[in-house]
Amino acid sequence: MVEGGRRLIAGNWKMHGTATALSEARAVAAAVARRQADGAEPPPRVAICPPATLVHRLAEALAGTGVLVGGQDAHAEPQGACTGDVSAEMLRDAGASLVILGHSERRASYRESDPAVAAKVEGALRAELEPIVCVGETLDEREDGQALAVVGRQLATSLPDALNGRAFALAYEPVWAIGTGRTPTSEQIAEVHAAIRTALTGRFGAHGQTIPILYGGSVKAANAREILALPDVDGALVGGASLRATDFLPIVEAGWA
Ligand code: 13P
């Protein structure tokens, strides 16, 4: 596992949240500040990725707290005739410092290909956002014995060379574990994370050792500690359990080294 200070616990609110949700983020920030004040260990980085409409308000609400704000997607281009889309520059301008890219829900619903994800990653780097690039196999692919091959292919073609030397994170999110309450066994998670680490160091050398590899898919208070203790698991990308501070905070707490 990457040393504590590089751990990242990120909440992905998906399409949830209006202004009333800001109080949940404020509660997270207040608890993180209290914990940091009395803890000697390096704290994990904590991020919340709300819907685009809340990025600016969340960034204002969390300014100075150390809790980071991220987007959930960004167009590859800085601007253009792309109705409904938001660029990485716009997220940055609104106060985001990270952005989730290539989430399986976008790969499935909007047919985002690996090269399209790679173009978005380049856009995020151009805007100085830290990309969190998601990979993961479907249930059919896992049952077919293809999990490592699928993730390997996604890594090879979703990660542009421009990432070399740049800050980014990887998230392994098996599609069948997202929102289902099902999680892979510890052995399955460790196997894929080890393969991702090997691929990252093969591609980016020593820099690949420093890239946080997050696990995502039905992470909750009850399983966070066990998952975060696995080798090469450097954090978590949390969906449903990030919406309420009372659910998210025990996961953040498990992220302390
Ligand atoms: P759940 O934690 O709700 O399974 O979602 C995981 C996810 O997709 C985070 O990006």
Ligand 1 geometric centre to CA of 81 (Å)? 31
Asked if residue 131 and residue 57 are part of one domain, the reply reads no
Asked if residue 218 and residue 96 are part of one domain, the reply reads yes
Asked if residue 30 and residue 156 are part of one domain, the reply reads no
188 in a structural domain: yes
User: Of the listed 24, 103, 137, 141, which one is catalytic?
Assistant: 103
Q: What's residue 2's pLDDT?
A: 47
pTM: 0.97
Measured over the CA atoms of residue 61, residue 62, residue 64 and residue 68, the dihedral's sign is: negative
Asked if residue 114 and residue 24 are part of one domain, the reply reads no
249 in a structural domain: no
CA distance linking residue 120 with residue 103, whole number of Å: 12
Asked if residue 92 and residue 31 are part of one domain, the reply reads no
Q: What is the pLDDT of residues 173-195, one digit of tens each?
A: 999 999 999 999 999 999 999 99
Asked if residue 61 and residue 73 are part of one domain, the reply reads no
Using DSSP's 3-state secondary structure scheme, residue 100 falls into strand
91 near 55, Cβ under 8 Å? yes
Per-residue pLDDT at 4 exceeds 80: no
Ligand 1 geometric centre to CA of 237 (Å)? 7
Residues with CB under 6 A from ligand 1: 12, 103, 173, 178-179, 216-219, 237-241
Spatial neighbors of 120 by CB under 8 A, at least 6 apart, are 73, 74, 75, 76, 88, 101, 102, 112, 131
Q: What's residue 1's pLDDT?
A: 43
Asked if residue 128 and residue 36 are part of one domain, the reply reads no
Q: What is the pLDDT of residues 73-110, one digit of tens each?
A: 999 999 999 999 999 999 999 999 999 999 999 999 99
103 has catalytic annotation:
yes
Asked if residue 116 and residue 75 are part of one domain, the reply reads yes
Domain region containing 166:
68-228
- Which atom of ligand 1 is nearest to 240's Cα? 3
How many domains does the structure of the chain reveal?
2
CA distance linking residue 62 with residue 206, whole number of Å: 33
Please state the rounded mean pLDDT for residues 21-43: 89
CA distance linking residue 178 with residue 149, whole number of Å: 20
